[in-house]
A and B are shown apart, each in its own frame.
Chain A
Amino acid sequence: MKWVKFLLAAVFCTSLFYVLQFPIGQTPAVGNFLNPFGGFWQNNTRQDELFTRYQVQGLKAEVKVVWDERQVAHVFAENDHDLYMMQGYLTARDRLWQMDFIARAAGGRLSEVVGERALELDRFRRRTGMVYAAENSLAATSDAQSKLVMEAYAKGVNRWIATLTPDQYPLEFKILNYQPEAWTPLKSALVLKYMAWDLTGRNDELQMTRTRQLLGDSLMNEMFFKDSDLQRPIIPRNTAWPFEALSPPPAPESLVEIEPLAMNMLLSPDPDIGSNNWAVSGEKTKSGHAILCNDPHLALRLPAIWYEIQLHAPGVNVYGTSIPGAPAVIIGFNENISWGVTNAATDVMDWYEIEFRDDAQSEYLYDGEWLQAKQRLETIHVLNGASIVDTIPMTRFGPLVYNAAEKSFSSNVPTGMALRWTAHQPSNELRTFLHLNRATDYDTFTHALSFFDCPAQNFVYADNQGNIAIHHNGKFPVRWQHQGRYISDGRDPAYDWKEYIPREHLPKVKNPEQGFVFSANQRPTDMSYPYYLGARYATFERSMRIHERLNEMQNITVEDMMVLQKDNQNLRAEAVLPIMLDVLEMQGVSLAEARDMDLLRSWDFSNERDEVGPLIFDTWWSNFHALVWEDEVRDQDEVLSTPVSEVTVNLLLSDTASIWFDRRDTAERERLGDILSQSFAETSQQLTEKHGLFGDDWQWGKARGTDILHMAQIPGMGRTGLETNGNRAIVNATSKRFGPSWRMIVEMGPEIRAWGIYPGGQSGNPGSQYYDNMIDDWVAGEYYPIVFLKSADEASEDIIGTSVFSNTLAP
């Protein structure tokens, strides 16, 4: 009897132990998680505490860190080793889990910690050659300075990890139930490649190839590649090109054709990712000093994408944002120059159809010969499961991402094809940032850019001598017209990348007559530029608005620049809405529709949060655009991408009687009015269905809103339902998930003055008061004055303390 009692109790206790000790499904291990001595209760503001002295073994000299009230670290070191070691140490202090997670995600190692549900994602990362790219990049990181920086940074991160006891682990480690592991330079390289994929990894060659087969070349030109009067290229139109261009290779006689795709993707082809940057010369500013502005638009996340830092050592004093996991400042300024970036959007990624000799995939046909494909092995460890060894055939173009029989992880990634991507080739982008951080003038700036291959960017520049410039910079193959717009033939050498555009031939402009330079991911040049670069640039709205405003502004102040970064003018609506409404008015409309029309009539084309116009217009536009093009891009069950919105805008502006408005799938001849009234009726109905009867819920800020989700999408760790202004294709490009991830304004001159804000906070700890402390101000459109110190002892009222870091604790 006693034995039975004991056994029952023992079994029960053991089960209790098991339930609490091990994670079940996606629930964290409850025992560890709840334990107030080690679990989540420990991740509170105590982790924000700052001490006056820290011991960091391995530092060569004392390092002083001055903290400002947003907990931005201003690091004052006596040598580069200590500087970057401290950057690693401090970034890890604030963002360790984020760094770890991005490096795992980039390197295809999430399955190790979350199990099988991440396997296809991991496989996708490995197959697209992320690890291969990072290894190549690391091999190219051969100059002494870059090596020292990479290693010192990793050493700093590891010093921080060594100080941690499990109760101090970042919250997400406790939720996901794993431990931090040592940082390596390879991880930094992976983090940079992750950014490269984020910015250049969008590709629609598959759909475009089918669309071309459906429409033919002349319509393709009409619908996808046309320059228009609306476009304001980065380099002012009619700029002469002072060089003898290399001649493009001959184009093949016919292009690759493929089988119909089993897909229905009536997507908006307008990209969300984009950015603005500009610089105005002293002649246009009130102070007489140049002003530089940058706001990169990315998928917003918590912990925030950026980490602010000031890095000071002999030969360098730079302030700006860094990427957790990578050394140096990516966007920022020093005492002499400032710089910012937008995505170049030039084509740096092609897909090649590969013909293998047999299923072994070890030989493939190229130029009439069978070439060997090296087999690259990738081992993926899976939590609570067997490890998987993936074999990737490596062709002369790059990795074969999926073989023809496999299912692709992403609809944009074709099967049976090899990926050629400039990010795979050895390059050392870190070197660009190390040089930019130390650049003193235009020449040193230009020299710094020569190391930057991928992700290609528009680098804007301003200095304290009054110069401004912008460079469309990266490694670009010399292409025949539209090469890489469609699937390439891996058998035919005509599709090869033979040489690259020399750096000195890349589009750039310094001190143009107009007194400003700018970019918004638009077409870099007019059609006179002798090289073909690509055809997936941003539509006209942001670039036209920035151009228009900068052009008319004089005596510009920093406040004017803040207003422009937050500008909500909807140029598309301004251009087409009056026409659309006039035509619609001639059709009969219902009572509810008449009200919606009135609301649109009284709207001032501004995407402010309390307006209802943006919601009605945005919905109407999507419906209208889809209705115009769906019949053209549909072939039985296959629905391909529609042209970009700018084509529809041009059509409305130039040819309201166009044949495009006719629906091919009906017997009648529809006219613009029919399409407008049909799409408007749909719109009124949809709005009521989705947002209820007309009322406050129709306001743009509420109806659209912005969600900043946690990186691992853990509920409660993000911020949702933010009532923001703006939209994609508006200077203030804030949409549901995307937005200005960092707003920066720098006024050059003998004393640099700068402002900045990003949606998040310096700490990655959800229990910290610095986790999301800047979000509300970001929504409100505020900026913080940036504390840019010349020395550690400089007084400033925004400073909350100083810490000394040294190899030993005793002073």
Chain B
Amino acid sequence: MIMLILHLLTPFWWWVMLIPFINSVIRGASALRSFGSGFVSAGLLWTAMALFLNISFTREVVPRVMAMTGATSFWMLVLVTGIVAGLCGGFASLCGFYLRDIFRKQPVPEVS
């Protein structure tokens, strides 16, 4: 949610890294879960936005960017967008968790 608002207000792409990072520093549970939540939240956000723009408006720009980048389909472009955001979010989130881990007094029991 914060990510969405910041994205809408500012032109920076790297909110998909910074927000998951901060999130995990504050409340990261485990490495895997941190990576997962970062990946999913960032990936979903970008995917959803890309899809939203293409449902609301005709997508003349997509075939041109496809030709430019060599992407073979619309979905491939959406997927790449989503995965790039996902990887950014995931790894930043992981990084955040490890930082938290250093300063944590005792290990938090794994939540199943």
Contact = CB atoms under 8 A, between A and B. Distances in A.
A766 interface: yes
B84 A767 contact: no
Interface in A759-776: 765-769, 771
Contact of A42 (B53, B84, B92): B53
Contacts of B32: none
Contacts of A514: none
Contacts of B46: 34-36
A49 to B, nearest CB: 9
A741 B65 CA distance: 26
Interface in B46-103: 46, 49-50, 53-54, 56-61, 63-69, 80-81, 84-85, 87-88, 91-92, 94-95, 98-99, 101-102
B7 A13 contact: no
A44 interface: yes
A500 interface: no
Interface string A7-42: 001101100110011000000001110111111111
B11 interface: yes
B76 to A, nearest CB: 12
A638 B95 CA distance: 66
Contacts of A669: none
A45 B87 contact: no
Contacts of B58: 44-45, 769
A690 interface: no
A642 B12 CA distance: 58
Given A9-B94, A20-B84, A42-B53, A37 B101 contact: no
Interface in B15-29: 16-17, 21
Interface in A657-679: none
B111 interface: no
A40 B92 contact: no
B71 to A, nearest CB: 10
Given A6-B95, A13-B95, A36 B50 contact: yes
Contacts of B1: none
A37 B98 contact: no
Contacts of A6: 95, 98-99, 101-102
A45 B68 contact: no
B88 A41 contact: no
Contacts of B85: 34
A41 B49 contact: yes
B2 interface: no
B80 A34 contact: yes
A2 B68 contact: no
Task: State the majority secondary structure of interface residues on B.
Answer: helix
B95 A716 contact: no
B49 A36 contact: yes
A35 B50 CA distance: 8
Contacts of A716: 63-69
A167 B95 contact: no
A41 B13 CA distance: 13
A35 B11 CA distance: 9
B9 to A, nearest CB: 9
A158 to B, nearest CB: 20
Nearest to B101: A2
Interface in A478-500: none
B59 to A, nearest CB: 6
B101 A46 contact: no
B91 A12 contact: yes
Contacts of A171: 61
Given A6-B95, A13-B95, A766 B7 contact: no
A3 interface: yes
A31 B63 CA distance: 20
Contacts of B16: 35
A315 interface: no
A167 B7 CA distance: 10
A714 interface: yes
B95 A10 contact: yes
Given A12-B91, A167-B11, A768-B60, A41 B68 contact: no
B88 to A, nearest CB: 6
B88 A45 contact: no
B13 A5 contact: no
B8 interface: yes
B92 A34 contact: no
A9 B11 contact: no
B60 A714 contact: no
Contacts of A39: 13
A714 B95 contact: no
Contacts of B57: 44-46
A165 interface: yes
Nearest to A175: B68
Contacts of B63: 716
A715 B68 contact: yes
A16 B53 contact: no
B25 to A, nearest CB: 11
Nearest to B68: A716
Interface in A93-151: none
Contact of A16 (B11, B54, B67, B88): B88
Contacts of A32: 11, 13
A43 B49 CA distance: 13
A717 interface: yes
A38 B11 contact: yes
B60 A9 contact: no
A258 to B, nearest CB: 45
A44 B88 contact: no
A9 B13 contact: no
A37 B68 contact: no
Contacts of B101: 2, 5-6
A393 B6 CA distance: 54
A721 interface: no
A9 B91 contact: yes
15 contacts: A2-B102, A9-B98, A12-B91, A12-B95, A13-B95, A20-B84, A35-B13, A36-B46, A36-B50, A37-B8, A41-B81, A167-B11, A716-B69, A766-B64, A767-B59
Interface of B: 7-8, 11-14, 16-17, 21, 46, 49-50, 53-54, 56-61, 63-69, 80-81, 84-85, 87-88, 91-92, 94-95, 98-99, 101-102
7 closest Cβ contacts across the A-B interface? A716-B67, A767-B61, A35-B13, A6-B98, A166-B11, A36-B49, A716-B68
Given A17-B17, A34-B84, A716-B63, 14 more contacts: A5-B101, A6-B102, A30-B84, A31-B88, A35-B7, A35-B16, A40-B65, A44-B58, A45-B57, A165-B11, A716-B68, A717-B68, A766-B64, A767-B60
